[in-house]
Amino acid sequence: MLTPRRATRQVALRGASDTVLVGGGAPVSVQSMTITKTADVDATLAQIYALAAAGADIVRCTCNEPEAAEGLAAIVPRSPVPIVADIHFQYKLALAALDAGVACLRLNPGNIRKPAQIKLVAEEAKARGVPIRIGVNAGSLDPDLYTKYGAATAEALVESAQRELAYFEEVDFHDVKISVKASNVPLMIEAYRQLAEVTDHPLHLGVTEAGPPPAGLLKATAGIATLLAEGIGDTIRYSLTADPVEEARAGRQLLEALGLRDRKTVDLIACPSCGRAEVDVIAVAKEAEAALSERQLPIQVAVMGCVVNGPGEARTADLGIAAGNGKGHLFVKGQMIRVVPEADMVAALVEEAERLVAEGAEARIAAADVGAVEEAERDRLALLAEQGDDPNAVGQRVELIRKELT
Ligand code: SF4
């Protein structure tokens, strides 16, 4: 079981077609960021739609120049998800993004440091009901905090966030979420743990500059999942050096895997393969994943290498297929329903997944091919006869070992 979610305040990101709540018991949300020029409205909107389809609830766009702010004015009303403007260095671009109608600002305390400017932005955000994320980053920490702590320590990251928060509180602005990102995973985890002790603002989790997959995925997951399991974190972003669609998909998959969001996409499980495998499990699983991930099918699907053990090992899956004797044996909730030629395994699996979601498990079991159970059992027994129920010849090996040792 995961630790219960930490109690926090709640902020609301009001988009043109949807409001996303962050913190205060709201579902953990997924964020990603566009990599197009924000001034290129059509390209940016196309990417926002792709990110939303892959699982992003919130999308951030850079607002790094006046043309970007103007682009945001055209993007915001057409976006399917709330838009956050990413601001560095220039507080005037934060004010311009507010004028463009964004749902949230991200400010980096490390590069907008004049208190009067920070407070002015907070006052303008407050007047519009727009929240701000204080986005502290170990790589761009306020220089005087480097001097004070000698490095970007967890304490330094937390103090940077608290300092910014104090400016906001001076102007009675509290609609704030906070991130303290680092590319070093243990540092990031420690900074968020310390921050969670000293504030009740919702937290945006991320391992910054995690790098390209698969290492980047592993680093981001190590940091984000550790904190989520401790009940810390209200919105997440994978910062990958990859197509941002991968970020959105990874974020959604992590939350589904942890049970923090309802399943929207297929959970593909597959056996690791072994000497009993009757098919190239890796290739079939990859093919099935590619075909199923294009569809919104909220079920668990198993690809198993042999009919001897596969249906039993994957009996808790909603749907599965096990290879054997040149055939694919389809089963629903562990019950055999159809046998198809091996070449049709993936196509049959996809077709059955769609029918299962549309009709339900009971209907698919009721519609099972009456001969399938007998045929699958014949295939299982044929393979057992061929391979035996002891493919590693344990009995003979033990005899051999005993001989060697006597
Ligand atoms: S399902 Fe069959 S092939 Fe896959 S790991 Fe189990 S015994 Fe091996």
- Please give the pLDDT value at position 295: 86
Name the one residue in this structure whose structure tokens are 């994978």.
238
156 lines ligand 1 (CB under 6 A): no
> Cα(384) to centroid of ligand 1, in Å?
13
Atom number of ligand 1 nearest to Cα 314 = 1
Question: Which residue's CA lies nearest to atom 8 of ligand 1?
Answer: 274
Neighbouring CB atoms inside 10 A of 57's CB total 28
Atom number of ligand 1 nearest to Cα 322 = 1
CA-to-CA dists, residue 138 to 107, 141, 235, 244, angstroms = 14, 5, 19, 22
309 lines ligand 1 (CB under 6 A): yes
306 lines ligand 1 (CB under 6 A): yes
C-alpha to C-alpha distance for 224 and 226, rounded to whole angstroms: 6
Question: Which residue's CA lies nearest to atom 5 of ligand 1?
Answer: 273
Question: Which residue's CA lies nearest to atom 1 of ligand 1?
Answer: 310
The answer to whether 320 and 304 are in contact (CB under 8 A) is: yes
Which residue, 246, 215, 108, 23, is CA-closest to 237? Answer: 246
111 lines ligand 1 (CB under 6 A): no
Nearby residues of 264 by Cβ (< 8 Å), 6 or more positions away: 55, 252, 256, 296, 298
C-alpha to C-alpha distance for 323 and 385, rounded to whole angstroms: 16
C-alpha to C-alpha distance for 222 and 332, rounded to whole angstroms: 33
Name the one residue in this structure whose structure tokens are 């401790």.
230
Strand order in the sheet with 267-270: 267-270, 300-304, 319-324, 327-332, 335-341
- Please give the pLDDT value at position 394: 65
CA distance between the termini of the chain = 49
CA-to-CA dists, residue 388 to 277, 373, 378, 383, 395, angstroms = 14, 21, 14, 8, 12
Pairing of the two strands 335-341 and 327-332: antiparallel
pLDDT in tens, 159-176: 999 999 999 999 999 999
Atom number of ligand 1 nearest to Cα 274 = 8
276 lines ligand 1 (CB under 6 A): yes
- Please give the pLDDT value at position 355: 96
- Please give the pLDDT value at position 402: 85
CA angle 56, 108, 198 (to 5 degrees): 85
- Please give the pLDDT value at position 197: 98
381 lines ligand 1 (CB under 6 A): no
- Please give the pLDDT value at position 399: 82
> Cα(275) to centroid of ligand 1, in Å?
8
387 lines ligand 1 (CB under 6 A): no
Token pair in block for residue 378? 């014949």
Nearby residues of 372 by Cβ (< 8 Å), 6 or more positions away: 329, 330, 336, 337, 338, 339
> Cα(300) to centroid of ligand 1, in Å?
18
271 lines ligand 1 (CB under 6 A): yes
Question: Which contacts qualify for 313-316: CB closer than 8 Å, 24 or more apart?
Answer: 313/271, 314/269, 314/271
> Cα(347) to centroid of ligand 1, in Å?
21
C-alpha to C-alpha distance for 25 and 288, rounded to whole angstroms: 35
Token pair in block for residue 170? 């001076």
- Please give the pLDDT value at position 225: 98
> Cα(281) to centroid of ligand 1, in Å?
9
Mutational pocket test of ligand 1: of 284, 309, 331, 386, the residue with most ligand atoms within 8 Å of the beta carbon = 309
The answer to whether 61 and 75 are in contact (CB under 8 A) is: yes
Question: Which residue's CA lies nearest to atom 2 of ligand 1?
Answer: 306
> Cα(278) to centroid of ligand 1, in Å?
9
Segments of the chain scoring below 50 in pLDDT: none
Pairing of the two strands 58-62 and 29-33: parallel
Token pair in block for residue 200? 């009740």
DSSP string, 23-71: ETTPPPEEEEE--S-TT-HHHHHHHHHHHHHHT-SEEEEE--SHHHHHH
- Please give the pLDDT value at position 393: 64
272 lines ligand 1 (CB under 6 A): yes
C-alpha to C-alpha distance for 256 and 236, rounded to whole angstroms: 13
310 lines ligand 1 (CB under 6 A): yes
